[in-house]
Structure 1
Amino acid sequence: MAKSTTCPARVQSVFILFFSISFLLTSLPLSAQKKSRQKTTSTTATNIVLTDKETSRYRIVVPAAATPHELKASQVLQDYLLQISGVALPIVADNKGRSRYEIVLGQNERLAEAGIAVDFNKLKEDGFLIKTDSLRLIIAGGNEKGTLYGVYTFLEKYLGCRMYSDKVKVIPTQKRIALAQINDLQVPVILFRDTHYRGTWDAEYTDWHKLDHDKEGGRPDWGMWVHTFNELVPPQNYYKEHPEYFSMVNGKRIPTQLCLTNPTVLEITIQNLRRKIAQNPTATYWSVSQNDNRNFCTCDNCRAIDEREGSPSGSIIQFVNQVAQQFPDKVISTLAYEYGRKAPKSLKPQRNVNIMLCSIEVNRDKPISEDPTSDDFRRDVEEWGKISKDIIVWDYVIQFNHLVSPFPNLHVLQPNIAFFAKHGVTAMFEQGNREVGGEFAELRSYLISKLLWDPNQNVDVLMDDFLQGYYGAAAKPIRTYINEMREALQKSGATLKIFGTPYDAATSYLTPALIRRYEQLFDEAEVAVNQDATLLERVKIARLPLEYAIMEQAKKNFTGEQGVFVKTDGQWKVRSAIRAKIDPFVDLCNRQGVTQVKEWSTSPEEYRAAMYRLFSQGMKEHLACNKKVKFLSPVSESLPAEANKMLTDGVRGSHDYAFNWFSFSGKDLEVVIDLEEIKPVKRIESAYHQFAFWLGILPKKVEYSVSIDGENFEQVGLVNNTLPIDQYGGIQRDFVSEFTPRNARYVKVKAYTIGNTPEWHPGAGRPANMRIDEIVVE
């Protein structure tokens, strides 16, 4: 995709041409698998000397009517040859004078004159041929960026150049550039290749690594990307007067998804999509796809289709097919995601319908092809492949709840991409970190980009080449760190999930003993490059995830050797080793440009603030600490077994709402704490967490009351919430009430929910979740 032609045509006519090759001037082989069909022929005999002692008889020949990409290819080649050899080769058009010494670029008249047959139909858009013929070097590519991609491949594969990141390139110098015979034909099986890492948005990185996005990470050929139901039929415009346009869930219409069997919804969708296409007529792909929630319509008509088809994809495909019929010159894309991932039994997508199949549920500790828990996903890939010839896979490669955290999945990247290619997938979007940074962001970007072009490459060779080029003398201990973490995960038998946490891994790949070993390896890495400030900074950035994991596990443990707090001389104090980590961690994140440590929330500065909040709150053995909590609401039968301990255990929640925040949905909180004896009380506080995007919303207000007998309560505090719910980042707020001391044995806390979210909210009509932390009584 992101091309000028549609995916169905590509799928029917593209064949894999990968064969293993041997590098001439580099140590990086393209593939370690003989089954690859990428074709290269070379011998050791030198027959072309492009430059020698800062002189050259060669010139670069472009077509007289060269495309912008062919012209760019000539300029890139000229520039890099100058940097490598000190020689500036002239660029001339193919209608000028002839010479025996030419580098022939693009779809060039010289090819026919020399009797060189190039099947440009086989090259399609991005494929290319690098070939020597007599004294000529030929780099000819497909009708989009093929020639440009061929030039970058020539520079990397035959002249030893590298682009490891948007900021790190290697351009070796050599006065004499001599080439052996070359016959290198490459046509990718994956035609649309994209990964979500900011560093890959650099224009040259994008071209060098053959990715399909622009300098903002956008996809120019896509008019709308995903989750578009609300954009096409906005609830704020229609829900109040026409709730029937939206999903029926548990007998009630709520604006979470569309009612896909309502004819007026179809009409509005087509009308609004037509307007959007008129505003961007050159875009080919237009997403008509479900919102990012699971509350699909279960009205009689929608349910009948879904039951007949064995999946909610039934009503989705029927609806999208009707939309697609109105736009025969466009491709209408829809999601096979979560509730709609399973293919329908009998319905088939129209010719111009694209299926975006998402792998969000699969584990990342084993390749999809080998993981028993991925049986249903493998089935879905196969079933969609039988009924659709235009499939893009949306895959996920990082831990979203903790973007800056160890996530040992590098070993599954190659087999998973190869699995999709084997099953006919011709377009892939690898969702990494849309923010800056993340664990081994540069390495992941590099590996993914290379594998999307050729899924059969030897990932170990790719990784070693990157580590040596990017980290220098620190490469060996960093590679050992990667290997040992992967081995620990595999030995433990634990699963690896994209919504996991560093404290989930405390018994698998992040045990205390392993963490000490990893610290030793990074100490070695830092010593190895301590005379090079640039390499040392890269090593410290690579160490950030380990430092983050240590801090996160300390919050989970809370006290003791691996905790935040330790008791010294009868007093709880912040452990010095943890206090010493937070500022260097945040400062380095800021230097690197890290924007968030958690998807959608928590900037490094917010993370620092959350840690200092925890330090200041301390481990308090307050009056309610470890005292019994009685729940009046929500009712005890609906609560986890540990609920009556969580609110008074002394352990505080922090930036991550998944840890130590007691959470429930759609109810007020009302609890009574028995202090076990009458004591003077003068201060009560309780903490709450808001992450409104995912329905975690602060209470409207919190009331505090005290009692001596547990029957008659006196209100001593009322705290109203003043923070809006349209701030979608993570927010922690302490609701504090101080008052004239009262004698009391019982303390009541009542926090009022906002109820269901309003119409304008992404979770419109759904009950809010309340998340509460420690109740402190002093």
Structure 2
Amino acid sequence: MWVGSFSWANSNLKAKVYLINAIEENGSEKWAAYAYSHLLKRSQDKSIVQFWENKPLDKVPQGNRIIQFHLATDLDHDYCIEDFPNRTIIRFQSEKIAVWIIYQLIDVIAQEDNRFSVSDLPPSIIKFNTECRNFDFSYREPHFLPNLERDYGSIIGTNNVDTDWGLWGHNLGNVVTHGANKDIYARVEGGRISTEQFCFSSTTLKNSTYEYIIDQFGDGTSFSYRFMIMPQDNDLVCTCDNCVTIGNTTNNATPAVTRFIDKLAQRFPQHYFYTSAYRTTIEPPKHKLPRNTGVFISTVELPRGISLNEEQPATKKFISQLRLWEEKSPAIYLWDYAANFDDYLTPVPVLLGLQNQLRFFKKHNVKGIFLNASGYDYSSFDDLKTFISAALMMDVEIDVARLSRRFLQRNYPRNHQLLTKYYLEIEENFQTSSKAYPMYGGMRDNLNTHFDSDHFVDFYNNLKVAIPKTYGIEKDKLNKLYTALSFTRLQIAYARQNSELGFHLNNRKTTTRQELEEWILILKNHEKYTDLNNYREVDGSLKTYYDTWQNLLFGKGYKNLLKGTAIELVSKSERDYDETYLLNDGLPGFTTDYQQGWYISSTDSTHFSFRTQEVQKAKTIKLRFLVLKKHRFYPPEKIELYSDGKLIKTYTERHFTIHKGIAECEMDIDLLETEKLTLRIKKSIGRNTIALDEIEIN
């Protein structure tokens, strides 16, 4: 039997009547009945689908086709298909695969037989010729919103954190009852008990976990769940006598954590248990882990969206980590990424880059992919990205462009050409660049890596024209997309204020384009959608974003005599492109978003200078810094002003007024005898960052 790769050319399945049959009474009859039921409800002519039971297989009427289903848990492949002139046999290894392959069958039949309706289904990606096949990855999760919708993951053959996992992430604390015995907690720093970390040699913790699994998920006989066993998200390690005996050190918790996993795996052989190569468990264990265990390794250090090669320093380090864990773990899963987590709504071309990287991961024996993306929040083109990334995890060699066209034509029959042209062009254009897209970046980062604002604005304007000519579900989906993309349109206006796409700045005062009000009103429509509330992973409320724009447009106005004067960065730049224009562009930074309008510096001392010819009569200088502690943004420790190289003012933290996340410092100045003013801003000690948005002189 030939073992081949996926394709989607039409198969020769068309028949007058489809006769459904089960092979053996081992659960196969359930899936034959499932296929019969779902084929039947997709045709108005109920006579064309029949259940062929207790009838001879060699007496099939001319022009009919018998389709047999066989649940074969001992199958060496995920599925096998045998195709004969009037008979098709479909074997599958699990019930999960059964659902997926039945929907594949329904779509393939409907492509040839218009008596069936499949407009609500995604396109099939296989043909039903004779072949056996294993999926390229056994665990496949594109963590986009559509994959979390009820039943959709079953149709496209994906996994889901909400249904496949008993424990996910750093949630081992869920198994612990309130007021639990203190021996479940770590002993750190000479014996001090810390409730911020667990003791993984604790008998109480082990027994509590046993009870939790049994009570909530059973022993795995009926359904196998996966469980993530990770320390809490910090660098604390238990160094009690038992943990030290097992092998723990002050910075390595792997010995006790993996011993804990060994016991769980032995107690529940039908469930699966995973840890992660992260922080205190980054080192692999010294022993081989049991067959029903595995490890998650993050790809966070790898460049996003571009091909990987073994000469890249980050990739070389990643491969080394894979090899170390491969010696000890029976399964390696990756925690991968497919989004800009600071901007879910601006289109990011992820698919062709994902394909290249999945090929690389397959080559290095990775077994599963958790593709972290916008999760429970809507993101632009997330329906397409969910479907294509799911297909890629089954077969890394699918034709992304062709399958994208089929998906968009199925889901947007009136406007598929508009959507296909734009999305495939941004994918193809990005592949000609050697720059990775930002995993955390604002519009300025987008513009300097992958994003063509002129191209986008053309698409945005064409979408506006197309929507009134569209009807039904397609119109609803386009309206939602247009609402989301209005965020991007506003971001362009903010970032490209001096171009035709942005603001108009006149007479050192901020004025605005008339269209801004229109874009803001369109964005307000996000309130109509329950899943269009955020534009980023953290602190990304669209309501707050909308309110900030309202204040910017209809507030009291803003004046800065320094506007139009070139500001020079004297100290070393941390970026490949100049951002000093942010310091006097007349646009206040958004207090909830450090990517929006702030000049960011993590160097110990940042120096700016500018000529003072245009501000000789100024009386004050005001500086405005972001205070956002969870992202390590703090006011500077000290600010020094130099007039032509001579120190004239020094201000420290005590001179700042802090209110609602903004630290302001206002100083009296006399610039009549000054040609060049220099500011030296010293940040506070530690891994802190400063964010300054305006040097305001009046």
Q: Is residue 264 of structure 2 the alignment partner of residue 320 of structure 1?
A: no
Q: CA RMSD for the aligned pairs?
A: 5.4
2:303 aligned partner: 363
Give the whole-Å Cα distance in 2 for the aligned partners of 1:712 and 1:440: 49
Deviation of the 1:362 alpha carbon? 1.2
CA contact (8 A) 1:152 1:208 kept: yes
CA contact (8 A) 2:457 2:489 kept: no
Q: Is residue 354 of structure 2 the alignment partner of residue 413 of structure 1?
A: yes
Pick aligned residue for 2:59 from 100, 105, 109: 100
TM-score (structure 2 length as normaliser): 0.73
Deviation of the 1:597 alpha carbon? 0.6
Q: Is residue 573 of structure 2 the alignment partner of residue 573 of structure 1?
A: no
Change (3 A) 1:544 1:385: farther
Deviation sequence 1:487-539 (CA, Å, 0-9, x none): 544445322231133211323433xxx42233334545665675323445545
2:134 aligned partner: 187
Gaps of 5+ in 1: 1-14, 26-43, 52-57, 109-118, 173-179, 630-635, 668-673, 700-708, 722-731, 747-752, 757-765
2:5 aligned partner: 19
Q: Secondary structure at the match of 1:498?
A: coil
1:225 aligned partner: 168
CA contact (8 A) 1:348 1:387 kept: yes
Give the whole-Å Cα distance in 2 for the aligned partners of 1:618 and 1:103: 75
Change (3 A) 1:94 1:245: farther
CA contact (8 A) 2:144 2:386 kept: yes
> Matches of residues 519-598 of structure 1 in structure 2 within 5 Å?
519-524=457-462, 531-534=469-472, 535-536=474-475, 538-539=477-478, 541-542=480-481, 547-557=486-496, 561-567=500-506, 571-587=509-525, 590-591=528-529, 593-598=531-536
CA contact (8 A) 1:332 1:352 kept: yes
**AA matched with 1:573:** T
Pick aligned residue for 2:74 from 102, 107, 121: 121
Give the whole-Å Cα distance in 2 for the aligned partners of 1:508 and 1:407: 11
CA contact (8 A) 2:300 2:336 kept: yes
CA contact (8 A) 1:687 1:775 kept: no
> Matches of residues 693-772 of structure 1 in structure 2 within 5 Å?
694=631
Pick aligned residue for 1:139 from 69, 90, 94: 90
Q: Is residue 391 of structure 2 the alignment partner of residue 438 of structure 1?
A: no
CA contact (8 A) 1:356 1:392 kept: yes
Q: Secondary structure at the match of 1:468?
A: helix
1:31 aligned partner: none
Q: Is residue 259 of structure 2 the alignment partner of residue 273 of structure 1?
A: no
Change (3 A) 1:478 1:325: closer
Q: Is residue 24 of structure 2 the alignment partner of residue 87 of structure 1?
A: no
2:589 aligned partner: 653
2:148 aligned partner: 201
**AA matched with 1:595:** N
- Of 457-466 and 444-453, more deviation after overlay is shown by 457-466
**AA matched with 2:254:** I
CA contact (8 A) 1:597 1:603 kept: yes
Pick aligned residue for 2:543 from 596, 602, 605: 605
Deviation of the 1:401 alpha carbon? 0.9
Deviation sequence 1:152-204 (CA, Å, 0-9, x none): 12122343299xxxx962699xxxxxxx9942433324222222122223344
2:645 aligned partner: none
Deviation of the 1:678 alpha carbon? 9.5
CA contact (8 A) 2:97 2:157 kept: no
Give the whole-Å Cα distance in 2 for the aligned partners of 1:500 and 1:21: 37
1:155 aligned partner: 106
Q: Secondary structure at the match of 1:503?
A: helix
Q: Secondary structure at the match of 2:294?
A: strand
Give the whole-Å Cα distance in 2 for the aligned partners of 1:350 and 1:505: 44
Deviation sequence 1:379-408 (CA, Å, 0-9, x none): 323332233212222211111111111212
Give the whole-Å Cα distance in 1 for the aligned partners of 2:319 and 2:300: 13
**AA matched with 1:60:** I
Give the whole-Å Cα distance in 2 for the aligned partners of 1:404 and 1:383: 38
CA contact (8 A) 2:81 2:89 kept: yes
Give the whole-Å Cα distance in 2 for the aligned partners of 1:460 and 1:717: 55
CA contact (8 A) 1:314 1:347 kept: no
CA contact (8 A) 2:353 2:431 kept: no
Deviation of the 1:468 alpha carbon? 2.4
CA contact (8 A) 1:103 1:139 kept: no
CA contact (8 A) 2:483 2:525 kept: no
**AA matched with 1:186:** R
- Of 407-416 and 767-776, more deviation after overlay is shown by 767-776
**AA matched with 2:133:** Q
**Percent sequence identity over aligned pairs:** 16
CA contact (8 A) 1:367 1:415 kept: yes
TM-score (structure 1 length as normaliser): 0.66
Change (3 A) 1:270 1:356: same
1:395 aligned partner: 336
CA contact (8 A) 1:404 1:548 kept: yes
CA contact (8 A) 2:626 2:633 kept: no
Q: Secondary structure at the match of 2:437?
A: coil
**AA matched with 1:604:** L
Q: Is residue 157 of structure 2 the alignment partner of residue 210 of structure 1?
A: yes
**AA matched with 2:15:** V
Give the whole-Å Cα distance in 2 for the aligned partners of 1:595 and 1:24: 41
Pick aligned residue for 1:425 from 354, 366, 369: 366
Deviation of the 1:350 alpha carbon? 4.6
CA contact (8 A) 1:17 1:186 kept: yes
Deviation of the 1:358 alpha carbon? 1.5
Deviation of the 1:616 alpha carbon? 3.9
Deviation sequence 1:583-613 (CA, Å, 0-9, x none): 2133157448413111133232222112223
Q: Secondary structure at the match of 2:15?
A: strand
Q: How many residues align?
A: 637
CA contact (8 A) 1:190 1:425 kept: yes
Q: Secondary structure at the match of 2:469?
A: coil
Give the whole-Å Cα distance in 2 for the aligned partners of 1:583 and 1:161: 46
Deviation of the 1:574 alpha carbon? 2.0
1:33 aligned partner: none
CA contact (8 A) 1:288 1:334 kept: yes
Gaps of 5+ in 2: 605-611, 637-647, 671-682
Deviation of the 1:140 alpha carbon? 3.2
Q: Is residue 12 of structure 2 the alignment partner of residue 78 of structure 1?
A: no
Change (3 A) 1:19 1:63: closer
Give the whole-Å Cα distance in 2 for the aligned partners of 1:436 and 1:543: 16
Deviation of the 1:465 alpha carbon? 1.3
CA contact (8 A) 2:338 2:371 kept: yes
CA contact (8 A) 2:21 2:67 kept: yes
**AA matched with 2:137:** I
**AA matched with 1:71:** K
Change (3 A) 1:686 1:87: same
CA contact (8 A) 1:63 1:106 kept: yes
Q: Secondary structure at the match of 2:154?
A: helix
1:36 aligned partner: none
Deviation of the 1:137 alpha carbon? 3.6
Give the whole-Å Cα distance in 2 for the aligned partners of 1:422 and 1:743: 61
